[in-house]
Amino acid sequence: MKQVPMVDLVGQYNKIKPEVDNAIAEVLTNASFINGPAVKKFQANLENYLGIKHVIPCANGTDALQVAMMALNLQPGDEVITTSFTFIATAEVIALLHLTPVLVDVLPDTYNIDPAAIERAITPKTKAIVPVHLFGQCSDMDAVMKIAKKYNLFVIEDNAQAIGADYHSKDGSVKKAGTIGHIGCTSFFPSKNLGCYGDGGAIFTNDDALAAQMRVVVNHGMVVRYYHDYVGVNSRLDSIQAAILDIKLKHLDEYAEARRFAAEFYNKAFASCDKLKTPATASFTNHVFHQYTLVTHCVNRQNLMDHLQSKGISSAIYYPVGLHEQKAYVDPRYKKGDFPVTEALCKTVFSLPIHTEFDVETLQYVVDSVLEFLK
C-alpha cells in the first residue's frame, strides 16, 4: 500500500546528498565540532537571508525562547502574554523562569494571536508579548508592535514554524518573519521548514546590546573567559548541524514554494467541501505551510484520521489541548470556556501531510481518500 508520511526527509536529503555529505565530511576533517567555521558561515548567511543584524545560533528552539527571556532580564512574577493555541515550549520557558504566562485566545481564521485580546490582558506587571507565527504565517505584527509601543513591552516572536515567511507592514516595508519584534526565535528541529539532522535553534535581533547579552547567556553567562557575570546556560548549535543548515538555507525558498504548491492543491480540492474549512492566509503575510491544517465541521475527526491511516496516510492533531487545559499548567485564573476559539479548534482541527517532496499523484491520493470518507 502507498505510504504517505507527514514529512519526507529522506526524499529531501536524497536530492542534496552529495552537497550535504561533503559538508559533513569537511567538518569531520577539520574536527572543529563546536563553534567551527561552519557555524560562523551559516550564521552570516542566515543574517543575510533574513535581513537582520544578529543571528545567535543555539541548541534548539526552546532554548532560543528561554535565552531571549533571560537576556531581557525579566524578573519572577513579570507577566508574559502568549497564545493559548501553540506548542508547549512557548509557555514552558515562561514558567521555567518563574515568569507568569498570561494566555490569550487566537483568531478563528488564522489561528494566530488575537491582538484585541492582548490589549485586554495587559496589567502593570506585563513585560513582554510572545506572538507565535503558527503553522507558517505571520501574526498581525503591526497590531502587536503598536500595543507593545503603547505599553512599553518587549516582543519576542516565536518563529519556529514560519521561517522564510514575508510580513507586509502597513508602512509598505516587507520583512522576514521573526525580524519584526525585538527578538525572534526559531527551531531547526528536523521537521521544521529549515530543519537540521538533529537539534538546533537560533535567535535574531537588530539590537546590538541585546545580541551581545544573548551571546553571553548562551555561553554560561561568560563575559571574559572563566569570568561569569550572569547565570547563563550552555546552548550551542554544533558545526555539523550548521553545515547542513547552510546548504538547506539555499533551498529554503524553493522548499516554501513546494509546500505552497501542495497546500494550493489541497485548497482547490477541498474548496467546495462544506465539511472542511481550508486554511486562510491573512492579507499581510504569505504562508510557508509548516502545517496544512483543516477545520472539520460535523465530521467524526478520529474516524476520518483512522480511515486515512487505513490507506497509509498519516495525519496529526496540532494541537489537541489548549495550554490552559494542560495538566502541568492548570491555573486558577483559567477555566474551561475561557478561550472558546482555542477550545473549538482543539476539537476540530487536523493536519494533512505537507512537505517538499510531493508529486501530484500522491496529493490526489490524499485528497481522494479524504473526500471518500466525507461523501
181 binds ligand PLP (CB under 6 A): no
189 binds ligand PLP (CB under 6 A): yes
Q: Which of 50, 89, 91, 242 binds ligand PLP (CB under 6 A)?
A: 89
Q: Among all residues, whose Cβ is closest to ligand PLP?
A: 61
> How near is the Cβ of 100 to ligand PLP at its closest, in Å?
19
Q: Which is nearer to ligand PLP, 202 or 211 (CB)?
A: 202
116 alpha-carbon distance from chain centroid:
22
Q: Which of 66, 90, 137, 219 binds ligand PLP (CB under 6 A)?
A: 90
Q: Which of 66, 86, 219, 239 binds ligand PLP (CB under 6 A)?
A: 86
Residue whose entry in the numeric block shows the C-alpha cell 501553540: 86
87 binds ligand PLP (CB under 6 A): yes
Distance, in Å, from the CA atom of 224 to the CA atom of 221, rounded to the nearest integer, reads 9
279 contacts 266 by C-beta, under 8 angstroms: no
Q: Which is nearer to ligand PLP, 60 or 342 (CB)?
A: 60
- CA torsion sign, 36 to 38 to 43 to 44? positive
The binding track of 145-164 with respect to ligand PLP, each residue x by CB under 6 A or -, is -------------x-xx---
Q: Which is nearer to ligand PLP, 284 or 318 (CB)?
A: 318
Closest CA to 97 of 127, 133, 59: 127
The binding track of 94-133 with respect to ligand PLP, each residue x by CB under 6 A or -, is --------------------------------------x-
Question: Burial, 164: exposed, middle or buried (Cβ in 10 Å; 0-12, 13-18, 19+)?
Answer: buried
Q: Which is nearer to ligand PLP, 133 or 182 (CB)?
A: 133
- Does residue 353 sit in helix, strand or coil? coil
201 binds ligand PLP (CB under 6 A): yes
Q: Which of 43, 137, 187, 293 binds ligand PLP (CB under 6 A)?
A: 187
For 174, residues 6+ apart whose C-beta sits below 8 A from its C-beta are 166, 167, 168
Closest CA to 135 of 166, 104, 163, 94: 163
Distance, in Å, from the CA atom of 72 to the CA atom of 127, rounded to the nearest integer, reads 9
For 126, residues 6+ apart whose C-beta sits below 8 A from its C-beta are 78, 79, 80, 81, 102, 151, 153
60 binds ligand PLP (CB under 6 A): yes
> How near is the Cβ of 351 to ligand PLP at its closest, in Å?
12
Question: Burial, 136: exposed, middle or buried (Cβ in 10 Å; 0-12, 13-18, 19+)?
Answer: buried
> How near is the Cβ of 297 to ligand PLP at its closest, in Å?
26
194 binds ligand PLP (CB under 6 A): no
- Give the binding site for ligand PLP (CB under 6 A): 60-62, 86-87, 89-90, 132, 158, 160-161, 187, 189, 199, 201
